[in-house]
Structure 1
Amino acid sequence: MAQVGPSDPDDDGRVDEAVVVGGGAAGLCLAHRLTGAGVGVTLVEAPDGPLRPAERTWCFWEAGTGEFEEAVVANWRRLRVRGPDGHVVESDPAPLRYRMVRSGAFERLVHSRLEASPTARVLRATAHEVRDAPDGAQVHCTTPDGRPLALRGRYVFDSRPVRATPPHRTLLLQHFRGWFVRTSAPVFDPEVADLMDFRVPQPRHGLAFGYVLPLAPDRALVEYTEFSRSPLTTPAYESALRHYTTKVLRLGPLTVESAEQGVIPMTDAVFPRRTGPAVFRIGAAGGATRPATGYTFAAVQRQSRAIAAALDRGRAIVPPPYGRRAMAMDAVLLRALDTGRVDGPRFFTDLFRRVPMDRVLRFLDDGSTPWEEFGIGLRTPVGPMLRTALELPFLSRRTTGRSEESPR
């Protein structure tokens, strides 16, 4: 039976096959997958307090019914993109469906499965240091009551955010604030999600769009999102959301029931997936965030399956979440957006207009063929993209927070 909650700090003599640090999407997915493979796992989660993140929303597309279906709170059959001029691209990317998972429901589901396993336990503790040790690695923690705790594992998988972005040529931020709203009248179509709505004022540098996920005819998650170099203040996000809901969507009277806010790095940096003989990084810390979109949840599931399969074969490895072609194409796109060589709203609107939506989504999930990727490339602004591709090999990678400057 799994132990859920604080543990006796006297762990002398216990060596788990795997210690997973962090109870976000990456840590939960990997602990679940390893437990299902019969691996002994200790999952270390931050105790209640400032280190424990607030409720979050994770979205992804999937064909059929997935293994975390019980945590899916909504899904959409049709997806829509709106250009700055109001032009609408709407499609059913069957067999894919767009799905929403809330972090609280996902955590409860995975915890219930871990609790039913004799090979898993969940500990609430603050992890301070992960380091190699003889025959494995150690995680040094503090329990909620202040006692030191040293965990030992043959392997440690660390999902905590990295402190600084690795050297990069381009670094943009996807930053956003979302409102869960309830309207006084039924104004949403629960069958259609708006992935990008560019009918919002565009920033001087980067791009901005609205994002609408209907939960019922009178309820939705409405977000304002920017791809740019610096996040906004909360009042600035609030002002943008008020403009979007009243002037663009014309939702009428509404109530904001809750809000969420976040920042996701979008970069061509290479995130090390191994930091020691027995220490690995997973999730966003291990490069699972798609540079050109910020999506992470589906890649985390792929990464977890691959790690479990490798351990089953007697190998310890965290494979790259995306292939080299995808990373190369994303690096070109990020650079082209950052330099302003391509117009972001027009680029994405034209991409979804010229390429079948299911193909675009498969490409974003690293599931497209080289021939499909070649066709997608031909439907982008070839001149600016080619110029950017030729420039990239000559740019140095830097550790500063800003992208390397270049003329347009």
Structure 2
Amino acid sequence: MTDSAPLDVDLALLGGGGAASLLLAALDRHNVSDLRIAIVDPVRRRGQDRTWAFWGSPHPDLDPLLSASWQQVEVATPARRRVLDLTPLRYAMLRSGPVYDRAAEAEHRLRATRIVAPAEAVTDDGTRVMVRAGDGSVVRADWVLDSRPRPPARAGRTTWLQHFRGWWLEADRPVFDPARAVLMDFRTPQPPRGVSFGYVLPVSDRYALVEYTEFSPSLLTDAGYDTALAAYRDLLGLDPAGLRVREVENGVIPMTDALFPARPTPRVVRLGTSGGATRPSTGFTFSAMYRQADQVARALAAGRPPVPRAAYPRRHRWMDAVALRALDRGGVGGPEFFDRLFDRNPAERVLRFLDGVTTPAQEVAIMNSTRLLPMITATAGDAAHRLRDRLRPTRPAPAIPAAVVGGAPPMPPS
């Protein structure tokens, strides 16, 4: 399409990454076949450009797509190494290729129109939404679902980044344990301001994703990530002479208590990170993205507006804000914080909390396992900061780095 009459559709999807791919699959799964759909994205997504990891019970929809899953995971600190049994949950790894392939099949069955160009202008008059694409195309939609990375409405009280680099390593001989993943390994050198850890997600005894992650306010250089990864490889006792780097993954995920408006205008709904799917305190995104996609598809199948519920309860966003503040101000150390969570709670409770699906009673138990004084100090500081925010003009939010991905890495945690 180029300069011509607008294309009239019921639903326009802006962006074609993880959130949009999950949505297309959900629409197909729920037999939403009577809608006119347009996809506006400059890239046709395919192949392995990212990895998601999440926990949950066996899932008939996702299980056929998984690269691996583990019933046991390891959490390590300089003092000890703890093996956690996740029963009845499991930790699972999903690469993007199968997700994109399923989305392409769904797109074909849904007879969606694809415009391979960026959406440059979106105008919502409250009745319909006009989308102008970079190739001159114009789409007129009843609803727009926008999964493109967008900045928050205003700067957060705390703004960190989860940034990481991973090597997919192939070994000459068996060196990995395919029955156990390393979830968080805090034996890595800790940055002056922030948290670092490594993890290992084995697909077989000779092939695994080995990754270095930081939670901190600023990014490293390429050389910095490679140096940290090489040091972590050596810490694991892996001989570089017997290893080959088959793929490299990079990513940046916002960790902030800033709000991402999920519905900026009446008929525009945001999904993925820009729609609040990223958990501020961990960077986890995939499970919330999947829930959003399923809720939107169910709503459309029932003839309701395609508006999902909030990705996380308000009380979880408050707890995340307090935790981020405590970490940022040095009230608690990251390794100690996560170590106490896993030490004083069943693994299932911690994982469900990090996924945003715990009950208030479970959350009280989680809070009681943290150091009391630093968290009280962070709570008081957060309350004072919120009051100041109400009394002063809106501060512009910082731009999200170009490397931001829509799904979380394999944790702690897109």
TM-score (norm 2): 0.88
Structure 1 or 2: more strand by fraction: 1
C-alpha separation between the residues in 1 aligned to 2:304 and 2:248?
44
Does 69-78 or 265-274 show the bigger shift? 69-78
Partner of 2:287: 298
Q: Of 74, 78, 82, which aligns to 1:80? A: 74
C-alpha separation between the residues in 1 aligned to 2:65 and 2:48?
17
Partner of 1:406: none
Q: CA deviation at 1:125?
A: 2.1
Amino acid at match of 2:87: A
C-alpha separation between the residues in 2 aligned to 1:347 and 1:13?
54
Partner of 1:30: 23
Q: Of 219, 223, 226, which aligns to 1:231? A: 219
Q: Can you list the C-alpha shifts for 1:186-218, whole angstroms capped at 9, x where unaligned?
A: 111111111110111111111110011011111
After TM superposition, the structure 1 = structure 2 runs for residues 204-223 of structure 1, keeping only pairs within 5 Å, are: 204-223=192-211
Partner of 2:82: 89
Partner of 1:70: 64
For the 8 Å contact 1:20–1:31, the answer to whether it is kept is no
Amino acid at match of 1:352: F
Identify if the C-alpha distance between structure 1 residues 43 and 401 changes in structure 2 by more than 3 Å, giving closer, same or farther: closer
For the 8 Å contact 1:42–1:121, the answer to whether it is kept is yes
Match of 1:81, SS? Answer: strand
Q: Of 94, 106, 111, which aligns to 1:113? A: 106
Partner of 1:256: 245
Does 97-106 or 391-400 show the bigger shift? 391-400
Q: CA deviation at 1:309?
A: 3.2
Identify if the C-alpha distance between structure 1 residues 185 and 54 changes in structure 2 by more than 3 Å, giving closer, same or farther: closer
For the 8 Å contact 1:187–1:218, the answer to whether it is kept is yes
For the 8 Å contact 1:46–1:52, the answer to whether it is kept is no
Match of 2:21, SS? Answer: helix
C-alpha separation between the residues in 1 aligned to 2:340 and 2:88?
23
For the 8 Å contact 2:118–2:133, the answer to whether it is kept is yes
C-alpha separation between the residues in 1 aligned to 2:4 and 2:184?
50
C-alpha separation between the residues in 1 aligned to 2:114 and 2:355?
30
Give the percent of matched residue pairs that are identical in Structure 1 and Structure 2.
Answer: 41
Q: CA deviation at 1:244?
A: 0.8
Aligned residues: 386
Q: Can you list the C-alpha shifts for 1:89-113, whole angstroms capped at 9, x where unaligned?
A: 2122122221111112210122112
- Asked whether 1:203 is paired with 2:195, we answer no
Q: CA deviation at 1:40?
A: 3.2
Identify if the C-alpha distance between structure 1 residues 124 and 400 changes in structure 2 by more than 3 Å, giving closer, same or farther: closer
| Runs of 4 or more consecutive aligned structure 1 residues displaced over 4 Å after TM superposition | 51-54
C-alpha separation between the residues in 2 aligned to 1:298 and 1:256?
29
Partner of 1:352: 342
C-alpha separation between the residues in 2 aligned to 1:263 and 1:373?
28
Q: CA deviation at 1:277?
A: 1.9
Partner of 2:392: none
C-alpha separation between the residues in 2 aligned to 1:11 and 1:260?
40
C-alpha separation between the residues in 2 aligned to 1:132 and 1:368?
36
After TM superposition, the structure 1 = structure 2 runs for residues 246-325 of structure 1, keeping only pairs within 5 Å, are: 246=234, 248-252=235-239, 253=241, 254-311=243-300, 312-325=302-315
Q: Can you list the C-alpha shifts for 1:256-307, whole angstroms capped at 9, x where unaligned?
A: 1111111111000111111222112111011100001101111011112222
Q: CA deviation at 1:232?
A: 0.1
Partner of 1:326: 316
Q: CA deviation at 1:53?
A: 10
C-alpha separation between the residues in 1 aligned to 2:110 and 2:23?
14
Q: CA deviation at 1:317?
A: 2.4
- Asked whether 1:138 is paired with 2:125, we answer no
For the 8 Å contact 1:168–1:399, the answer to whether it is kept is no
Q: CA deviation at 1:11?
A: 6.6
- Asked whether 1:394 is paired with 2:387, we answer no
- Asked whether 1:100 is paired with 2:93, we answer yes
C-alpha separation between the residues in 1 aligned to 2:100 and 2:141?
23
C-alpha separation between the residues in 2 aligned to 1:277 and 1:326?
26
